[in-house]
Amino acid sequence: MDNKRKYVIPGDVVTTGPFRPEQNVILEGNKIISTTIGISEIYDDSVKVIPLTGKYIPKINDLVIGKVISHTSLSWELDINSCYVGFLPAQDVFGRDFSAHADELTSKLKSGDLVAARIANFDRTRDPLVTISDRDLGKIDSGDLVKISPSKVPRLIGKRGSMIQMIEMATNAAVTIGQNGWVVVSCETPEGLLKAKKAIEMINEKAHVANLTDQVKDMLEIKEDES
């Protein structure tokens, strides 16, 4: 590991001096201290720590997989694997003419349903607002839900999507990755489905390992000329 990156735990001093503290670090006097378990990175003038654990913190425009856990007459509440519950207003699904008397929410979505959604708005004073009104969003009718740590999602996607594309091509599975660590995998063949799920679980467990890509390739039995 080069000088600019190191493993840190909460309270560890990443560096001292005139740097700008970014994600997951704080400034104490002239010391920049990590607030989480992770890998610190020092850029030209700023310092951040990439966390290796922790819940998903919603970011506007993130694609997430959510599970409906309850509803009122005006909205649904979604579990999005975060500290906060996702808020999906009825108008998002029924449209502007939504009427609380006439339109029954459970006709579209009920408890236990999984949806692909996008974070429409979030600030810490309110629960995150989600939407499912784009073409690639909405209720998920089939597939298996695999849960990984949100901090491993970048590894699962890979540089410019290279890791997930490799898995999809080798198994013929279709994978929808939520930034919140929930992943839906569907495949026509049970073998492909099992392999894809194993690959995802392997990445979740070994994200910090250097030759992970090779290990996944081996597991998927990808021959060199195919990759």
Contact present, 56 and 150 (Cβ < 8 Å): yes
Task: Identify which of residues 59 and 208 has a Cβ nearer to another protein in the complex.
Answer: 208
CA 92-94-96 angle, 5° bins:
75
42 lies in the binding site for another protein (CB under 8 A)? no
21 lies in the binding site for another protein (CB under 8 A)? no
130 lies in the binding site for another protein (CB under 8 A)? no
Beta bridge partners of 50: 39
Residue keyed to tokens 């560890």: 12
7 lies in the binding site for another protein (CB under 8 A)? yes
Cα 118 to chain centroid distance, Å, stands at: 11
> What size, in residues, is the chain?
227
Per CB under 8 A, contacts with another protein among 190-219 are: 206, 208-210
CA torsion angle for 42, 44, 45, 49 (degrees, to 10)?
-20
147 lies in the binding site for another protein (CB under 8 A)? no
27 lies in the binding site for another protein (CB under 8 A)? no
Q: Largest Cα–Cα distance in the chain?
A: 63
Residue 19 CB, nearest approach to another protein (Å): 17
Per CB under 8 A, contacts with another protein among 51-70 are: 51-55, 67-69
Residue 97 CB, nearest approach to another protein (Å): 28
